[in-house]
Amino acid sequence: LGHSIHYLDSTDSTQKVAHKLSQEGCPEGTIVIAEEQKNGRGRLTRHWYSPKYTGVWMSIVLRPNLSPQKAPQFTLIAAIAVVQAIEELTNVLPEIKWPNDILINGKKVTGILTELQADVDKIDSIIIGIGINVNQQLSDFPDELQSIATSLAIESGRKITRAKLIQCILMKIEKYYHVYLEKGFAPLKILWESYAISIGKEIIARTVTGEIAGRAIGITNEGILKIEDDAGIIHEIYSADIEIKK
Ligand code: BTN
């Protein structure tokens, strides 16, 4: 990873740039990093707040020879890499909230957005977008984010070198990508579940078609969340917002 790095001072969205590079046939492992995003994108068309110099805003292009159904697994692989890199650099162990949130003390420090360029049966490229709040202080966040967002500096009490963090994440994504290509998702599923907060908890999953309440019992081999409701029926959730009941 990272043999081709596109470093930008300011851009709309590194995802957008990575999509374009991918369409132009860029090599696997191409990385786009920006100091600032004017129009950072989150999941479900949400905005992602990406101010200058304080965070890691990056997108990674992978080209695995796989079916599009495998794409959600890449969000989980990236999450494992980010959790381990954060722990290594800050000594704080974050938790993963399915599918793509990384939290410290219940507040969001990282979001991951995995997007695809694919045919019906074959991936052309997977674009993994990672946004990490690194050196913001609480007062730097807009009011509406102050109760739900945090940064590595707030949680660890010190400034983190972003270049080191990026390097560490890329090394780990590369490592786990190879594990995945050689051994499949099973070993990564176990690792992911060890960092996940929602598993074993009573949750409410809000999907586009409605709400499902029950106990999160794990993820499938595809990275899909399994919820067991009170009647003992197991639901498989592809995409949702999760609320963990207290
Ligand atoms: C989410 O939690 O909803 C996902 C947030 C993903 C943000 C990252 S920052 C780098 C990349 N470029 C974007 O526009 N979004 C992703």
Beta carbon of 18 within 6 Å of any ligand 1 atom: no
Beta carbon of 223 within 6 Å of any ligand 1 atom: no
Residue with tokens 């200058």: 52
H/E stretch holding 203: strand 202-207
Beta carbon of 97 within 6 Å of any ligand 1 atom: no
Residue segments in the chain with a per-residue pLDDT below the cut of 70: none
**Ligand 1 pocket mutation pick from 20, 32, 41, 45 by most atoms within 8 angstroms of CB:** 41
- Which residue segments constitute the domains of the chain, with CATH numbers given? 5-195 (3.30.930.10), 202-244 (2.30.30.100)
Atom 11 of ligand 1 has which residue's CA nearest to it? Answer: 129
- Output the pLDDT for position 187: 94
Amino acid at site 211: E
pLDDT digits (tens, 9 = 90+) for 187-232: 999 999 999 998 899 999 998 889 999 999 999 988 899 999 999 9
Helices within 39-107 (DSSP H only): 71-90
pLDDT digits (tens, 9 = 90+) for 152-171: 999 999 999 999 999 999 99
Beta carbon of 75 within 6 Å of any ligand 1 atom: no
ipTM score over 0.90, yes or no: yes
Beta carbon of 111 within 6 Å of any ligand 1 atom: yes
pTM (2 d.p.):
0.94
Residue with tokens 């190879």: 178
Atom 9 of ligand 1 has which residue's CA nearest to it? Answer: 131
Q: Which atom of ligand 1 is nearest to the CA of 16?
A: 14
> Is the preceding omega at residue 99 within 30 degrees of 0, hence cis?
yes
- Output the pLDDT for position 44: 82
207-214 contacts at long range (C-beta below 8 A, 24 or more positions apart): 207/237, 207/238, 207/239, 207/240, 208/239, 212/237, 212/240
H/E stretch holding 4: none
By C-alpha distance, which of 89, 80, 99, 30 is closest to 180? 80
- Output the pLDDT for position 233: 96
The CA-CA-CA angle for residues 133, 30, 2, to 5°, reads: 75
